[in-house]
Amino acid sequence: MTHTEHTTQSRKGKHLSFDERQFIAYLKNKSGLSNRAIAKELGRAPQTIHNEIKDGTVDVIKQRQIHGTKQYDYRKTEYSPEVGQAAYDTARLNSGRTYLWVESTDFIAYADDQILRLHQSPDSVVGTAKVANLFPEKRIPCTKTLYNWIDKGFMETQNIDLVLKVRRKTKSTKIRKNKTFLGNSIDFRPDCVTARETFGHWEIDTVVGLKSGQDQVLLTLTERKTRFEIIQKIEGKNALAVQSGIENLQEQFGHFFKDIFKTITSDNGVEFSTLSTCLDGIVDVYFTHPYSSWERGTNERHNGLIRRFIPKGSTIRHVSRVHMKRIENWMNQLPRKVLGYKTPRQAFLDETASLLAD
């Protein structure tokens, strides 16, 4: 059998195998075939063979003669299948994907600083970096990728450092027990409030430290559209203390109070039993269904953020007002995806700018 009868079938797009490289060496070095003829034998494109022979050609010493003190080497260039294969393997290795986290060391340093020092969420870090053009776009990962980097240990940040790692809970239908509403049901709340279309609609709750009943508690209010948070210390988890907290807000905002507080949504806790009465004719108050904390979802989530700094069982009376305001400021300076990575403070000031201008 002559080598011109080689019938190797090569599928289009496939790389040369080592067997093919050995056959190329025979055809080129021994038979002296041209590149085009070799390409025809292998069923390959002439350019493929040209590139392969170029990459795999080496100088070899065919003969060495020594005359006295002088040495003469007679060299010849020829194709080496081993060198060709090595060149292919090297190119293959270098053409592999460079992982984004390897190329994004500056962003990773920035993200670690924002999360560990400023307690920002991965999503707000990514969003702020994109909106502010802090890094080339191709060096900024998506939020999911940043979470993956944290999970895989590519960053200094660990999962325990995250303010709140979102976990989706499957909603289950619960049979609601009959319970008297303290006022208007959330069923009668305007749709525009539910849709967060307009400003001035708040959710309210309390955050408890010790359960002894002797400790102070936090009164928290969250504006639904801007996510702006207000935290106040009150003397206890009772109606009188809540009423005192509301009166403090009225004094703080003065004649703007009615424009900033249009509705308040509460649960049916006994501490809110006089809320409708003390705000009658000033603010519309609505109450969620029993066992439906998700109907005040934003406020509940914010309470979870507060718990990072004031865990359950802590004595709130020992929390200074300065520390409490630092928590409030941190929450209001946290860029939010839902706000186009504005902060709640920025969004709140945008909404209230017209009031101050009048």
Question: What CATH number is attached to the domain comprising 220?
Answer: 3.30.420.10
Q: What's the pLDDT score for residue 32?
A: 87
Confidence band, pLDDT 50/70/90 cuts, at residue 228: very high
- 307 and 266: one domain? yes
Residue 213 lies in a domain: yes
Q: Is 215 within a domain?
A: yes
Q: How many helical (H) and strand (E) elements, i.e. helices and strands, does the chain have? A: 15, 8
The residue written with tokens 């053009």 in the block is: 133
> Does 197 lie in the same domain as 341?
yes
In a domain, 200, yes or no: yes
76 shares its domain with 110: no
**In the numeric block, which tokens belong to residue 66?**
């020594």
Specify if 171 maps to a domain: no
Using the 3D structure, point to which of 78, 94, 110 is the last residue of a domain. Answer: 94
Return d(Cα 38, Cα 28) in angstroms, integer. Answer: 8
222 and 336 co-located in one domain? yes
Residue 87 within a domain: yes
Percent residues over pLDDT 70 in the chain: 87
Strands (DSSP E) along the chain, which ranges?
A: 57-67, 70-79, 184-185, 201-208, 217-223, 229-234, 263-266, 284-287
Q: Cβ atoms within 10 A of the Cβ of 304, count?
A: 12
Q: Are residues 265 and 322 in the same domain?
A: yes
For residues 252 and 319, state if they share a domain: yes
312 by DSSP, 3-state: which?
Answer: coil
- pLDDT-derived band at 9 (thresholds 50, 70, 90) equals low
Domain around 284: 184-357
Domain final residue pick, 49, 73, 94: 94
Is residue 53 within 8 Å of 24, Cβ to Cβ? yes
Measured between alpha carbons, how far is 29 from 35 in angstroms, rounded to an integer? Answer: 11
Are residues 316 and 191 located together in one domain of the fold?
A: yes
Please check whether residues 224 and 309 belong to one and the same domain.
yes
In a domain, 194, yes or no: yes
Same domain, 241 and 294: yes
Residue 175 lies in a domain: no
Read off the pLDDT of residues 314-356 as tens digits, 9 standing for 90 and up: 999 999 988 999 999 999 999 998 999 999 999 999 999 877 6
> How far apart, in whole angstroms, are the C-alpha atoms of residue 237 and residue 240?
9
How confident is the model at residue 160, as a pLDDT?
84
CA distance 97 to 146: 18
Measured between alpha carbons, how far is 119 from 128 in angstroms, rounded to an integer?
Answer: 14
Give yes or no: residues 269 and 344 share one domain. yes
Q: Which residues are CB-neighbours of 154 under 8 A, at least 6 positions away?
A: 101, 108
Q: Judge if 215 and 350 occupy the same domain.
A: yes
Structural domain total, the chain:
3
- Does 195 share its domain with 134? no
Flag the least confident range among 100-109, 142-151, 251-260: 100-109
CA 90, chain centre distance (Å): 36
For residue 348, tell me if it sits in a domain: yes
User: How far apart are the C-alpha atoms of 192 and 225, rounded to whole Å?
Assistant: 10
The rounded distance, in Å, linking the Cα atoms of 172 and 182 is 25
